[in-house]
Every structure is written in structure tokens, then in C-alpha cells.
A and B are shown apart, each in its own frame.
Chain A
Amino acid sequence: MPELSRRRVLTTAAALTTAVGARPVLAPSARAAEGDGHGHHSPAAFDEVYRGRRIRGGPTGAGGHHAHGPGYAVSVDGVELHVMRNADGSWISVVSHYDPVPTPRAAARAAVDELQGAPLLPFPAN
């Protein structure tokens, strides 16, 4: 979804969460479709229910994400999860900030694991 704005991604995610509800955890093979997260191109968008929670991610347009410029937005049940890409292409999020993982989807899943069902709070800068 290259043309979707970050807001659009998050709004859609929230709507889909309501519509779909909890589903079984996706198989690990879903990882194969998301790209490797390295290089200069943004990783592919994703949209899945992981451990009963809707996680979505996708590239944002220029001027999208406050301090970070054009980038990539991730949400958990429709609430933005602040993520960051490291120089080596790995990713972290604000709830797992010192532990890089290969892709934004992995960062979203790590956040769901860390949250243990707790709601994410909207990022203060929004």
C-alpha cells in the first residue's frame, strides 16, 4: 500500500480490528513474505492477527512520521507503536528498545509478547 498515509494505515487497522477480532496466530511461514528488512527500500506492508491482536505495518509517505521523516508506521490494535530502523537494517520499538530484530513485523510481534495483553497507549507526539 505505497500511497497510504500513516494515519490511513492506523485508521484502517483500527477498523479491521473491530471487524475481525481474534484469530489464530499465523504460521511462521508468513515471515517469508515480508522481505528481509535490509537495504534502502522500505520493508513490505503487513497485516495479521498475532496472539489475538491486530498488528499492521506499512511505509509512510514523505513528511509522515514526526522526527524521522519518511518511514514506516506500525500499529497494535490500531494504536501506533513507535518503531525505529537501525543503520544495519534491523528494527526496534519503544517497548523493546535495546533488542534489535530483523523486521518491523518482528518488532510488532515482540511488542505484543511484551505487552502481555495490555493496551498500548497513543504515542505522546501524535
Chain B
Amino acid sequence: MTVRKNQAVLTAEEKRRFTAALLELKRSGRYDEFVTTHNAFIVSDTDHGERTGHRSPSFLPWHRRFLLEFERALQSVDASVALPYWDWTEDAGRGVRSPLWAPDFLGGDGRSRDGRVTDGPFAASTGAWPITVRVDGRTYLRRALGAGGRSLPTRAEVESVLSMPVYDTPPWNSGSDGFRNHLEGWRGVNLHNRVHVWVGGHMATGASPNDPVFWLHHAYVDKLWAEWQRRHPGSGYLPAAGTPDVVDLDETMRPWHDTTPADLLDHTPHYTFDT
């Protein structure tokens, strides 16, 4: 059984195996297929049109399935690997000093001149992490951790969102009230979106999976969905049926066409968390 652990408790060996599996997926070309898929959904999901991966109720089950696909790809390289999660509330006070950004894991901040990450396994100088799915001419991994004085969400802010009893509300988009949109961040204290912006560089763009921290960020967003479910056992996924442009509970999701939100509400058949 796959156990997803807090990145802060990984052993040196677990970090080594995780980053090695990432590099092998990159080398084989499979990694970039995930970047392409994500960017395609980012630019096509719109508030007043069809929306599946983002700004919609299926943001959470879509990313759960997307991460499952990615985790299975990692495990095809090394069966011992599971996706770690990044509890960014633990780093709200220490920012760039988190061990997450150490050279033995994801590498650090981008340099000020051009945002280029210069250490760690994904630095351009290694030659092992070319940015090929991109929207501009730059081919090196970029970050700007905390640029512009932004801060990571705090645990209190997370608690305020977990306390919301309703999963999602009409109009089922970036203007919605409810748990999903507050977790996604288009409204309110802003959790998920703000973390993308805090990391900066590729993480701030539609091609955000170019930075491996994408997976650790979304693994934690996914864990927060599980925590919300435990806290509100009487609250279910919404909408239930008959909603134009929106994935209802029992409708299949693109691009897989074989899984519904209902199929993905329970993560435990696929993985558990360390806490």
C-alpha cells in the first residue's frame, strides 16, 4: 500500500529515490506529457464554459486522479516511491529555509537576475531537467520563492477553510462560495493559488508541473480534501446531477473518460497518509 508522507520526515534515501524516479520520467519523455495535459486544461477551463481541471467542483477529484496517474508512473520506475506532500503551513514562518529547498531534495530559490534555480537535481546546469513544455523562450527551471513579500498560508487560515460545511456552490466556478473554491483560492483567504504564486517561476504559470514541487503541493491540497471529508461526514460532492459544463458526481472526467468524482471520493483504496 502506498503511504504518502510529509516531505519534512523523509529519509535521505527516500529523497534520493524520489528525485531519481522524477529524473527518469523526465529522461523518458513521460514527465512532459503530464505538463502538457495540465497546461491544456488550464487554458481551456473557463468560468462560463466547460470546466474540469480547475475553477470547478472537479478541481479536487481531477487533481486526485492526475496525481494517481503520476504516482503510478513514478512507481513503474521505482515501486518504493510514493508522492510526498508539502504542508506549507509548517513553512509559513521559515519560507526558503525549509529542508524542502535543500540541494539534496528540490533545490533552492532562483537567482535574482533571471530566476534560474542553480542547485539541486533540477538545476539547468545538470542537463537533466530541460524545460521543453513552455510558454516562453526560457529552458531552465525558475523560482522566486516569496517574491513580492507574499507569505504562505497559515494553519489558522487552513482551519478557516476546513470549517466550511458545503463542498461547492453555484455557479460552480471561480465565483463560488464553499470549501472547494476557498481551498482552490479564487475567493477568500486563498490557499492553493497563493502557494503557486509564492513559489513563482514555472509554478506561477499554466505549465506549473515543470517544477516538481507541483506534485508535493497538490498532494497536500488533496490531503486537505480528505481532512475536510473527515470533519464533515454528512457533506458530499456537489453538484449531484444535471449541471451544464460542470462534472456532476456521477459523470466521467476528461481526459480519462473512465472515472467519476464519485469513484474518487475515497482515497484509501489507492493510498493512505502518514498522519
Contact = CB atoms under 8 A, between A and B. Distances in A.
Interface string A112-123: 001110111101
Interface residues of A, number: 25
B205 A96 contact: yes
A95 B136 contact: yes
A120 B55 CA distance: 25
A115 B134 CA distance: 12
B175 A86 contact: yes
A116 B137 contact: no
A121 B197 CA distance: 21
B204 interface: yes
Interface string A68-84: 11000000000000101
Q: Which of B43, B48, B173, B208 has the most CB of A within 10 A?
A: B43
Contacts of A98: 185, 192-194, 196-197, 204, 208
Contacts of A100: 186
Contacts of A123: 43, 135
A62 interface: no
Interface in B121-179: 134-138, 171, 173-175
Contact of A97 (B50, B115, B137, B208): B208
Contacts of B175: 86-88
Interface string B14-54: 00000000000000000000000001001110111110000
Contact of B173 (A87, A116, A120): A87
A85 B46 CA distance: 8
A18 B192 CA distance: 40
A56 to B, nearest CB: 18
A88 B174 contact: yes
Main secondary structure of the interface of B (DSSP, over half): loop
B69 interface: no
B204 A116 contact: no
A22 interface: no
Contact of B134 (A86, A87, A121, A125): A121
Given A84-B46, A86-B174, A87-B175, A99 B204 contact: yes
Nearest to A67: B44
A94 B42 contact: yes
B135 A120 contact: yes
A99 B204 CA distance: 8
| Most chain B CB inside 10 Å of its own CB: which residue of A86, A119, A125 | A86
B250 interface: no
Contacts of A115: 136
B206 interface: yes
Contacts of B42: 94, 97
Nearest to B144: A114
A120 B136 CA distance: 4
Pairs of residues from A and B, 4 with the lowest C-beta to C-beta distance, nearest first: A87-B175, A98-B196, A98-B193, A87-B47
8 contacts: A69-B49, A82-B43, A95-B204, A95-B205, A95-B206, A97-B42, A97-B206, A118-B137
Interface of B: 39, 42-44, 46-50, 55, 114-115, 134-138, 171, 173-175, 185-186, 192-194, 196-197, 204-208
Interface of A: 67-69, 82, 84-88, 94-100, 114-116, 118-121, 123, 125
